[in-house]
Structure 1
Amino acid sequence: MKNTFAKKFTVCALAGVLGVAFTGCGDDGSSSPKGTGLPAEVADMEELETYGCGMDVIGEKVYVTELEENYECDGEKWFKSYDQTKPSSTSTKSSSSKKSDGFSDSKNSDKDGSSSSDATTSSCSAKSSSSRPTEILEPEITVNETCTEVGACDAIVKTDISTWHFVRKDNFGDDAEYTYTVDGKDLIVTIKSADGSTDSKTYSMYNMESEAGVEMAFNAAKSTCKNGGGNDNKIKSCVKDTVKALPECNASREGFIGKKDSSSYVVCKNGSWEKAKEIDMDTYGKTCTNAEVGKRTNGVVTETNKYYCTSNGWVLMGDWSWDLPKEAYLNPEIEYGTMTDERDGQVYRTTTIGDQVWMAENLNYDYNKGTARSYCYDYIETNCAVTGRLYTWAAAIDSVALANDAVNPQTCGYGKTCTLPSIVQGICPEGWHLPSTSEWRTLFDYVGTSSTAGTALKSTSGWKDDGNGDEAYGFAVLPAGYRGNLDYFNYAGDCAYIWSSTEDDSGYAYLERFYSNYSSVIESPSHKDYAFSVRCLRN
């Protein structure tokens, strides 16, 4: 893999990385730029090698017919291009084992089966995405050897008698080889003359068992060596140093993810390697363009991680996040229906469960009339687009409409009781209504019991502490939290509370409570002036 990452981007890909606009960046490679002298196609590699690959043609591609692949110039040599867009002026045999990027199926596709790049796209950004390799960059192993030369006399080490070995000139100008050894306290010097004869002498004066004796002997040996020109003979010593490191982070590797060691990753940014975020390395090589919003994929490094493509890039589908749109929490295996609220044009997914047709999303109709109010979580409007609005019970039952009913006007809401109709349209669109507790129980009985309905109806992501549900029916209950009557918001990501139309007394009405890591649904009354979610049921 290191050879792959050593190659340079094409000029078009580099433009995409740096955000630079180059004229002709969207060309399909059917012809080389004027003046390069390169053909668009050659028969084989032998013919390709006849064309020079220098800085004047860096980034240029030539199609090799025999291999059915594009080759690209990196300024020094030809390499198999990452961009395998086939030149339009050539025709080649199709191959079931290769895709448009030239890699095998196993490398061309994401784990969820989606294509990792679109080589037919003509935009600069698309070519940049397809040109960048999808593999994590592995460190390269480099062996550096450092060698030094020193004269034979200077190479002698006082504490290592084996280094007391040198060649010097004798009195006749011939080479004589000196070797020093120790026998107890005695120093023995063996001289091998140029004619091959040897002579050994024993010196007892030094006492080689004492530090002072060794010092004296060392100085004498070194002097003998130097006086005979021993330093003219050089001794070469080399040290090998093995370095495991990523290649240089330069403009052509901007955005590359590298593996620093077995458990940590870095990303190339602005000319230097810096620690990579989990999402950087886990979505590496996977495209997320505006045209792909809604795509899901598993992580590259941690396969159990799931990511959702938004207009702002990949977002982890884990604990609760307001950054994910409501569609991310729907079950992709369910074929949803839709309905349009004619009051504001909002479109809602619907799901059929038994004989009931439910909204598969929380209601998001802006209702604020008198004391009957609705709210976005934390007063952030964009939060409503994810979980819908939170309604007081007076708003949920549309107390204003009940008070203005021509046949049976009712004053309903906090601090009051009233006689409600058998079907309460409430805040729901025409043809839909606020479900009663008995209608909620019908739902729970169909999916199992109230003891297991939490697991069956909660969304498969978004609940904290991995408290997600199976969401087998497309109901996708989201942990939207609530607003208290003292103007505070709480429990987003932990809990979901959904109103029923069933009143308890003047201060309370019934709702359905869903909790993280809890399989049951709890039905109990709560303050009418608290604000909770609303789901509508078709009449």
Structure 2
Amino acid sequence: MKRLIISLLSLVGLCVSCNDNDVDGVSFDSSVVKPAEDFTDPRDNNTYHCVQIGNQIWMAENLRYQIPGNSIAGCYTWDEEQVDASNATVDDETYKRIATEVANDPKYNGWPQYGNKRVTGTQMIMSMIMMFDYGYTQADVDEYLTYYPDYYEALTAELDKVRDPIIIAETHFKAVEKENGGYVAKYGFLYSFDGAKQAVPEGWRLPSDEDWLKLEQALGLNASESLRNEAWRGSGLATLLSEGGQSGFNAKRAGGNIYVIKTKEYNYVNKDDSWYYWTSTSEKNTDGADIAIIRMSAKYSDKVWRGTSPVTTGYRDVLYSVRCVKDAK
């Protein structure tokens, strides 16, 4: 690809040189930064510190809204792979456990009478376990239990909850989040491009490239310098925007899931070294692939990269952090 993009993003040791046309540094005026009211997301009660920079209000924390469906919907924690729940099943032990719980549930009052006799929960459990013991499959047990339609309907409803792709994905997320030590609480979620657009709360927007240009220029980046593309721009700009910087933007070096040129794979890389943020501005590459304009910073440079990134290759989505913006009133 003519613009394939993002090759710099995976090279942590890359040496950055200054172009002769660079404007040396940003001219920062602290008066452009003002406190802004915290925002509590009514969807999940997460509260975000905010900051006004110029005529924009930005969240000063990475978005951590958990989209229902998690990885299925483009919302990931660190090292999480997408769940394939297209053929979700339960094992025999889980089936027997849930079937036993339904059979013994007191709200069903011992189950109704079938034919000339009353079939108790205990009898259904014994019949079911015997079938499993004799090598029958879940499909065989299902067929047997259809003779007891009330029980079978209640059992199917409970099994469907376990088979539900959204529940499976959330369970998987919780397990990975525990393994990685609580990434989301510190860094927010990593989102696919489509996930990022879904995750933004009402009253806010996923910032466009133009929104980022306004932010950078408000912090003192020369307008012509800011418009450079596929380039590192503005000495000192990354320092202002990164965690602890004077802008109050407080960008976290959350890493991302990006294309690694050496291995030609998509991997989680650069946690605590780089930050990557989606913009809402997308376009087509020369070969027709979807790409989006992003911003990134790395520890080896005090500039900010403005360039394009693949959205996906079909193998998996690229994943970056999200900040939200709105106009100051």
TM-score normalised by L of structure 2? 0.48
Greater per-residue strand proportion: 1
Greater per-residue helix proportion: 2
Instruction: From the CA coordinates, give the structure whose radius of gyration is larger.
Output: 1
TM-score normalised by L of structure 1? 0.30
